[in-house]
A and B are shown apart, each in its own frame.
Chain A
Amino acid sequence: MDKKIILDVKNLSVSFGREEILKNLSFSVYEDEVLAILGPNGGGKTTLLKALLNIVPYKGEIKWKENIKIGYVPQRLNQIKDIPLNIKEFFELEDIKVEEILNILKILGLKEDVLFKKINELSNGQFQRILIGWSIVKNPEVLLFDEPLTGIDIGGQETVYNLLAKLKKEKKFTIIFVTHELSIVNNLADNVLCLNKQMLCNSPPEKVLNPELLSRLYSEEVKFYHHNH
């Protein structure tokens, strides 16, 4: 492969106090690749994203391409409902101009009149699309997503999913997303990283999505919870 490496991770470990969340992870991500991080709850998926964003302290090495622009879509933004903020103002927090916002709305498949809607008047699916739009408006090279489909009803999931597929095709982003849903992995990802505290696989979805590996990945969850009781 002559594609450029955009992210190189070596021997990454993260602990909170005594608890080890991630252990000895090494992997690379290439330009335009869509990488899914798959694993059970408590397996360290979100922590891995945060380490990549340099939000949590870690050991080991995380090397991004120089001066890379990263867009990030967090899992939940509970606090945002405390603030009476309309969509236009949400984008303006980052000094985005109206024309650019309208452009993004078109890509998101949302009508212009959404501009003056309050954030807490949106459905979860609409809000998720707005968040995605917010993260791509400054044209980042990489997008990091935490559970893009969680908490959205089936209809909403499909629109968000279609949006991701469209972005992958048209915009040539490198996308790294965290999920526990197999269907989206199968359809969207070029590569899958299975994570349950340690890395259990790192290969294309057709090799990963077999019963044996999945049961290994998710049965660790059972053991993990047993230890804690």
Chain B
Amino acid sequence: MDQIYLSLITGIFIGGAAAFLGTLMLPKKMTLSADPLSHLALPGVALALLYNKSIWVGAFPFVFVGIFLIWFFERKTNLSFEVLTAVIFSTSIALAFLFLPIEEAEEALIGDILKINFNEMIFAVILSLIIIFIAEKIYKKTTLINISEELALSQKINIPKYNLIYLILVGIIVVLGVKMVGGLLTAALVAIPAATSRNISKNLIQFKIISIIFGVLNSILGIYLSKILSLPAGPLIIIMSALIFLISVFKKK
């Protein structure tokens, strides 16, 4: 299969899944947290690049160990999720720059979806589908939790369970996103399509579907432009989504 198709298919699936999950993260005011979480991946990415492996091999354990540590310290210390994320993610970045071969820094920081291979594409497609499937499964209850934890508790919803599933999904999408737009830009994959959709949708179904459509569209546009202009795809994907967001601001009723 042509490289461009591998990249496009991967981009479409990751972009769509990230945008969908973004519609759950936006009401939680958690879209920005995707960024520090993706920085957690950087030491793993550095190691993977050193040993010539797929960056996902390195990114996965580091993101999930990082998330576990944040969760663990939160319980131990009563400090907030936010400040612990700051502690853990800056440590990760520091570690990453000790190992990261400087000539490879670009791939780690802004991604490289144009180098994706067939197996990686299959991996990304399957994980993206799993994310969409599970996110849809927990969507109603999580939305209720987002509206009011008290209301959710009064309906006997097991909040820690849903939050854990949600956090795992965020972890997976962050790792996938690191390959696509790098360890600096992943928040944009979840935040911008959801914010764009929020501007123009009248109900929940539209909110979800329009967000996915923009997530997919941004990937296609970014990857094509990258091919034409010979510029890196990651930043172009983000810039395209920012442009569409800008249009939605003025379309907003």
Contact = CB atoms under 8 A, between A and B. Distances in A.
Given A85-B203, A89-B204, A92-B140, A77 B151 contact: yes
16 contacts: A53-B154, A54-B153, A55-B150, A70-B154, A72-B151, A77-B147, A77-B151, A79-B27, A79-B146, A82-B26, A83-B27, A83-B146, A84-B203, A84-B206, A89-B203, A95-B140
A4 to B, nearest CB: 22
Contacts of A144: 154
B207 interface: yes
Interface of A: 50, 53-55, 70-72, 74, 77, 79-80, 82-86, 89, 92-95, 116, 118, 144
A86 B204 CA distance: 7
Contacts, number: 63
Given A85-B203, A89-B203, A118-B203, A79 B147 contact: yes
Nearest to B200: A84
Closest 6 CB pairs of A and B: A72-B154, A86-B203, A82-B27, A89-B204, A80-B147, A93-B140
Contacts of A55: 150, 153-154
Interface of B: 26-27, 140-141, 143-144, 146-148, 150-151, 153-155, 198, 201-207
Nearest to A140: B154
A58 to B, nearest CB: 14
B147 A83 contact: yes
B27 A94 contact: no
Given A89-B205, A116-B203, A118-B202, A83 B151 contact: no
B147 A94 contact: no
Most chain B beta carbons < 10 A, residue from A85, A118, A144:
A85
A93 B144 contact: yes
Contacts of B148: 74, 77, 79-80
